[in-house]
Amino acid sequence: MEDGPAVGYDELDVALAHWHVNAWGGAEYLVTKMAETLGVDQIYTVGVPSPEGPNPYGDVSFYDVTVDLSFPSIRRFQSRIDRVFEYSLWEDVDWREYGHPDVLITSGATTRAVITPDDVLHINYCHSPPRWFYDLYHDRKDSLLGLLSRPLIRHLRTRDVTVDPRVDYYFANSPIIARRLRKYYDREAHILYPPVPLEKYRNEGDEGFYLHLGRLDNEKGVLAIVKAFEQSNEEIRFVGGRGDVDQSVVDQIEGSRNMYYEGFVSEERKLELLATCTAVVFNGRNEDFGIVPIEANASGKAVLTRNEGFQGVFVEEGVNGYLHDGSADGIVDAIHRHKRAPLTISKSRVEPFSLTTFDTRLHSLITEWHRNHQLGSDPAEEEV
């Protein structure tokens, strides 16, 4: 094919699709900010969003495509049965009915099932390959639910792999997700970090307390943090929802002289605590992507974090934080290392997560990929 005139982003018709919204979380934040950045005022989804209340991340609305499918009441019911029917629902959407966009960006695993006209560029933003199907399969398969659901999981895993060739290019939200895409789909991905409004974070010194941000969940390793601070006698403040830890853990915190649980706080209170803490303690297990270490560094504070998942990649020992093994003793050791050599972090450390970086990279890659797609280039042969 001969080279045609380059098409700028402003000349492209871009559409966004996101899997069923069952909670307002990180994926919904990402797709909302992507819509704002791209000038898209409506995101296609399956089913009416489940959470009560409007989208808290912006004015972008969600449009339920099941109303345009055959037997819409049945399709809407199917959309609420977890993700089981979503591959089939997305497959039945005819994008010619929505203006035949030049570029379709899908968000979430099941949206990859869309069948677009051959001239439409399909980009998927991958938050993670379905973890029940792949990296967490062996962790969950021996429970009663895991045992009963094995035949369905195997069917859906096959379905998931089958739809992969329908995606022309992938974005991944972190190096961890890029690695999983390479492992399970044999696909390369361009890393596009979720944007963080860095300008709102500040450093107002050290008022002598450590900070834990996040729900009191077992997956956040909260019990080990509590045991560590029982040993260290340093002050720590826990900020976030109640989570799923045993009540005895909450009782330990509330009965302690050096640990305080503030619960869910306002955004301004969170920023104040980040601005005045000594360092942030993070103990999440193998997280795909975590905004807390970025918030800490954006506030000029070090992160004392478990050495695995995204945070294990993001934190460089003795540069923007200290690494530990997730145990109480490991956390205590990280506290001692930080006390011996306190760190002050420059905001330039988190520049890759800025809104400006997100905007620039998103627009340039969409334009480049659309150009390649029109020329018939093979994405597998292009460098990432």
Kindly state the average pLDDT of the residues 134-138.
77
The predicted structure's pLDDT at residue 1:
41
Q: pTM score, two decimals?
A: 0.86
Q: How confident is the model at residue 384 (pLDDT cuts 50, 70, 90)?
A: low
Residue 67: alpha-carbon gap to chain centroid:
28
Multiple choice CATH, 9-195+355-381, 3.40.190.10, 3.40.50.2000, 2.40.50.140, 3.40.50.300: 3.40.50.2000
Closest C-alpha to 34, from 166, 124, 98: 124
Residue whose tokens read 């296609």: 44
- pLDDT tens for residues 311-345? 999 999 999 999 999 999 999 999 999 999 999 89
- pLDDT tens for residues 150-160? 888 888 889 99
The predicted structure's pLDDT at residue 229:
97
Kindly state the average pLDDT of the residues 60-72.
92
Question: Which CATH superfamily, name and number, covers 198-349?
Answer: Glycogen Phosphorylase B; (3.40.50.2000)
pLDDT at 172 over 80: yes
**All structural domains of the chain with their residue ranges:** 9-195+355-381, 198-349
Domains 9-195+355-381 and 198-349 share a fold: yes
pLDDT at 16 over 90: yes
Q: How confident is the model at residue 7 (pLDDT cuts 50, 70, 90)?
A: confident
Residue 26: alpha-carbon gap to chain centroid:
5
The predicted structure's pLDDT at residue 72:
87
The predicted structure's pLDDT at residue 5:
59
More confidently predicted of 6 and 209? 209
Kindly state the average pLDDT of the residues 34-54.
91
The span from the CA of 252 to the CA of 37, in Å, is 45
Q: How confident is the model at residue 198 (pLDDT cuts 50, 70, 90)?
A: very high
The predicted structure's pLDDT at residue 377:
79
